[in-house]
C-alpha cells in the first residue's frame, strides 16, 4: 500500500525533488507527521494547499492516492 506525493514550486526544494512514493497513511496529519521534520513544518503552513487526486480539501486518504502539495501562488 502506497501514496504518491507531488511537491510543486518551492516545496520541491524542501522535499528534495518533485515526487516520491511513501507507505500508506490513513490521513494527512499522519502522513505529514511521518515525513522529515523540516519538510513536515513546511507542509503544515496555512498557506500550503493539498489536493488529493486533484480534489482540494480531502483529508482522509486511500491506498494509491496522489497527494499534491501546492505552495502559495504569487505574481501579478
Domain ranges of the chain: 2-70
Question: What does the pLDDT read at residue 73?
Answer: 77
Q: Is the model's pTM score more than 0.75?
A: yes
Question: What does the pLDDT read at residue 48?
Answer: 96
The pLDDT tens digits of the residues spanning 22-74 come to 999 999 999 999 999 999 999 999 999 999 999 999 999 999 999 999 998 76
Instruction: Classify burial at 50, counting beta carbons within 10 Å of its beta carbon; exposed 0-12, middle 13-18, buried 19 or more.
Output: middle
Question: What does the pLDDT read at residue 75?
Answer: 56
Cα 69 to chain centroid distance, Å, stands at: 4
Domain at 2-70, CATH homologous superfamily:
Beta-grasp domain (3.10.20.30)
The pairing of strands 66-70 and 2-7 is: parallel
The pairing of strands 19-23 and 2-7 is: antiparallel
Amino acid at each position: 500500500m502506497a501514496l504518491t506525493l507531488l511537491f510543486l514550486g518551492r516545496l520541491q526544494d524542501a522535499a528534495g525533488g518533485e515526487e516520491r512514493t511513501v507507505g500508506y497513511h490513513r490521513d494527512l496529519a499522519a502522513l505529514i507527521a511521518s515525513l522529515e521534520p523540516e519538510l513536515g513544518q513546511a507542509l503544515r503552513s496555512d498557506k500550503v494547499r493539498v489536493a488529493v487526486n486533484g480534489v482540494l480539501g480531502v483529508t482522509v486518504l486511500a491506498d494509491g492516492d496522489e497527494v499534491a502539495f501546492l505552495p502559495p501562488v504569487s505574481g501579478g
